[in-house]
Amino acid sequence: MTIGVGIIGASTGGWAALSHVPALTALPDYEIRAISTSRRSSAEAAAQQFGVPAAFDNHVELIAHPGVDLVVVSVKVPHHHALITAAVEAGKMVYSEWPLGVDSQEAADLAVRAEAAGVRTVIGLQGSCLPVVRHTRALIDDGYVGKVLGTTVVGSGVSWTAETDRAHAYLYDAAFGVTPLTASVLHALEGVHHALGDLTSVSAILVNSLTQARVADEDTTIPVTSPDQVSLAGTFRSGAAASVFYRGGFTRGDNFRWEIHGTEGDLVLSAPGISGNLQALDLRLQGGRGDAQVLTDLTVPDELYGPVPRDLSGLAQGVAQLYAQFARDLRDNTHTVPDFAYALKQHHLVDTIQRASDTGTTQLLA
């Protein structure tokens, strides 16, 4: 059965256009049947560009479209609650970008609504679906690095610099739910947890190094309440140590580097460019073990890509893998994709990290 998709927020050049559209187009299980944006002109332009038959300037008509089985919510997080609630009440399956809500209270409400309605859900935490991350886990499980002693992740969030534009100014207000912690760090931790297991303890320092930012297209300034420097330290159940540091903006050096160190070897995942957002990168995997003194490139086996084309870019690869996994779940009546219940768990992780920073104490994780 082909799954009919309606995308809320698919303007040309936006995240959905760069990731969801090529991901869905690459998979035979899906067909994009409707697009909605805030303006009729942009919706029609996107529909024409992507060959989608229906275009709307409101979510109500998209959700009611009889050909739409799965509603994709790819808009600013403050709008998630209303849009997802409408889709769930209509009995439609929902794929929501992460974060699910502006806070754990909104996430909890949406998780309860989805469960009560009995609809399938997906949360856009695709880091664990990346073939390179899956291969990293397989190498660790096979003993490539021996006993894991520690891991370090350093990355850049790209946004949260001293200058922005009006379209992205909301990122600087922590109340809107999209910060380096909730966005960049949680996406990175999704990969780390898949490869190494969940953290069992965490301490944190969240720093607001910026007090205001300039809105360049308006020549105004706005207050900054989103912490733009995030430093985490923690431990895994195995006793291995973890260190994660994310900065707002980007550096002239490495903007993403993830090292895994063990008694027998090392694995390193990295990517060129200014972005440090793991879920959207074309990651390079290198390793060295035994007597090797340098790292060498490691190839991800073709079979880990499944039905997704190997040459699909990092922007779309993880999204496509998540869609492919969801299609398998629907065929096999399984529940393996991260859903709204899982999203709520990750919102609670955000709360725990925030509490660790606020109190200056190490927090234990279940």
Same domain, 60 and 71: yes
Separation of alpha carbons 83 and 81, rounded Å: 6
The residue-averaged pLDDT of 333-352 equals: 98
The answer to whether residue 360 sits within a structural domain is: no
Q: Place 257 in a pLDDT band, splitting at 50, 70 and 90.
A: very high
The residue-averaged pLDDT of 29-38 equals: 97
Same domain, 24 and 154: no
pLDDT of residue 37: 96
The answer to whether residue 55 sits within a structural domain is: yes
Helix axes 80-89, 104-117, angle to 10 degrees: 10
Question: Residue 261, exposed/middle/buried by CB under 10 A (0-12, 13-18, 19+)?
Answer: middle
The residue-averaged pLDDT of 94-117 equals: 98
The answer to whether residue 310 sits within a structural domain is: no
Same domain, 108 and 145: no
196 pLDDT above the threshold of 90? yes
> Which string of DSSP letters, residue by residue, matches 195-239?
HH--EEEEEEEEE---SEEEETTTTEEEE--S--EEEEEEEETTS
The residue-averaged pLDDT of 111-137 equals: 98
Same domain, 143 and 289: yes
pLDDT of residue 1: 86
Q: Place 214 in a pLDDT band, splitting at 50, 70 and 90.
A: very high
Same domain, 194 and 295: yes
93 pLDDT above the threshold of 90? yes
Same domain, 250 and 193: yes
Average pLDDT over the chain reads 97
Domain that holds residue 217: 128-300+347-355
The answer to whether residue 224 sits within a structural domain is: yes
Same domain, 174 and 290: yes
Q: Indicate the helix (H) or strand (E) that contains 141.
A: helix 131-141
CATH number at residue 112: 3.40.50.720
pLDDT of residue 366: 78
Separation of alpha carbons 84 and 95, rounded Å: 9
Same domain, 207 and 289: yes
- Model pLDDT for residues 258-305, shown as the tens digit of each residue: 999 999 999 999 999 999 999 999 999 999 999 999 999 999 999 999
Same domain, 91 and 188: no
Same domain, 294 and 327: no
Is the separation of the CB atoms in 83 and 89 below 8 Å? Answer: no
The residue-averaged pLDDT of 116-125 equals: 98
The residue-averaged pLDDT of 196-208 equals: 98
CA dist list (Å): 335 to 120, 166, 171, 328, 329: 9, 39, 32, 9, 6
CATH number at residue 227: 3.30.360.10
The answer to whether residue 364 sits within a structural domain is: no
Number of structural domains, the chain? Answer: 2
The answer to whether residue 292 sits within a structural domain is: yes
Separation of alpha carbons 154 and 290, rounded Å: 25
Q: How many residues does the chain have?
A: 366
The residue-averaged pLDDT of 54-82 equals: 98
Same domain, 158 and 253: yes
The answer to whether residue 39 sits within a structural domain is: yes
